Amino acid sequence: MTAGLPGTGVGGLFYMVSGILMPFREAYRAVQGKSDARSRRLVAYQTVMALGVVAGIWATGWLLGVIISWAPAMAAAVHGTSPVAAHASNVVRAMAFFIGFATLAFVLAAVQVARVVNACRVRIRHEPAARGPWLERDAA
């Protein structure tokens, strides 16, 4: 997650992943015969929006990388030092991307674990009680 860059938080990443995966789900629904023109239009709109967000984030990251790479070269030119720093890679961009996706993966995994645990608790809590002969008599 990058502070100040919209769309790179957990919510933005979730939206982008969901929007990019929507066509695959809609194709599955089409095979089952559950798709219609309205849902396909919605899927197309959401997918284009998600791809636009991805393109915007990529362009912003690329532009920031270019600007940051110019700073050491300019500093080297002004101070007369070696411009070796101008060719240094920018690890911050890559790590922000991977940390955001790792956080999203952790949140989604935790939600799935909580769902399974809750389903087990509900199943245990609602198990039918053993019926004694007095209950069978009342039911008849």
**Residue ranges of domains in the chain:** 10-139
Q: Residue 132's pLDDT band (boundaries 50, 70, 90)?
A: low
Residues 3-61 have pLDDT tens digits of 556 666 777 778 888 889 999 999 999 999 999 999 999 999 999 998 988 888 778 77
Cα-Cα end-to-end distance for the chain: 64
For 8, counting Cβ atoms within 10 Å of its Cβ (0-12 exposed, 13-18 middle, 19+ buried), the class is buried
Residue type, 40: R
Tens digit of each residue's pLDDT (9 = 90 or more) over 67-125: 777 776 666 665 565 555 444 455 556 666 677 778 888 888 898 899 888 888 766 65
- The residue type of 136 is E
pLDDT of residue 88: 46
